[in-house]
């Protein structure tokens, strides 16, 4: 019969195991493919972003929490650009491309913007609310999803980006 200490050690080990390694498969999933118009006239696909760590932010010009995050996203994008991280905004239901371009210029948003649609919203999980942000690793897996505008959002994004870069590098 095993000693009490052996049993306690085994139980403690079993409690720690779920915290080790990759998150469950339900949390980490492949980023859906998409083909969206770029606000600057081109197109962007998930395939064209593969091989890069990507922060994909779903937002709208009429969304108060989204607007409050814009300056922090600009800083985040600038801080991580040289590391090969691509920050991409996906704008939903915000008017004509010219109106969105004017808005982006006025708010000094310096990172790439794509025009979102219902198909891409559905592919990424449907109407989860705005903002919703995804960190996608270089192999195309979503390794973090952040719903809303939380106080620790940019710390969580940075940690996920750093981990994705460490695995890539």
Q: How far apart are CA 145 and CA 79, in angstroms?
A: 20
Cα of 150 vs its chain's centroid, Å: 14
Query: 3-33: per-residue pLDDT in tens?
Result: 444 333 333 333 333 322 333 333 579 999 9
Residues in the chain predicted with pLDDT less than 50, given as ranges, are 2-26
Domain 23-168 of CATH type 1.10.630.10: no
Domain boundaries, the chain: 23-168
Number of neighbours of residue 100 by Cβ within 10 angstroms: 19
- The pTM for the full model equals 0.82
């Amino acid at each position: 019969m095993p000693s009490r200490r052996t049993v306690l050690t085994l139980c403690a080990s079993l409690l720690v195991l779920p915290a080790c390694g990759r998150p469950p498969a339900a949390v980490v999933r492949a980023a859906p493919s998409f083909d969206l118009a770029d606000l600057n006239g081109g197109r962007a696909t998930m395939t064209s972003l593969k091989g890069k760590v990507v922060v994909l932010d779903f937002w709208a010009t009429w969304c108060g929490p989204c607007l409050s995050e814009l300056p922090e996203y600009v800083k985040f994008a600038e801080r991580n650009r040289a590391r090969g991280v691509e920050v991409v905004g996906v704008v939903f239901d915000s008017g004509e491309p010219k109106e969105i371009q004017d808005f982006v210029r006025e708010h000094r948003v310096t990172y790439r913007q794509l025009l979102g649609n219902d198909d891409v919203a559905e592919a990424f999980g449907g109407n989860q609310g705005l903002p919703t942000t995804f960190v996608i690793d270089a192999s195309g897996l979503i390794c973090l999803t952040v719903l809303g505008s939380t106080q620790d959002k940019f710390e969580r994004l940075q940690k996920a980006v750093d981990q994705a870069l460490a695995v890539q590098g």
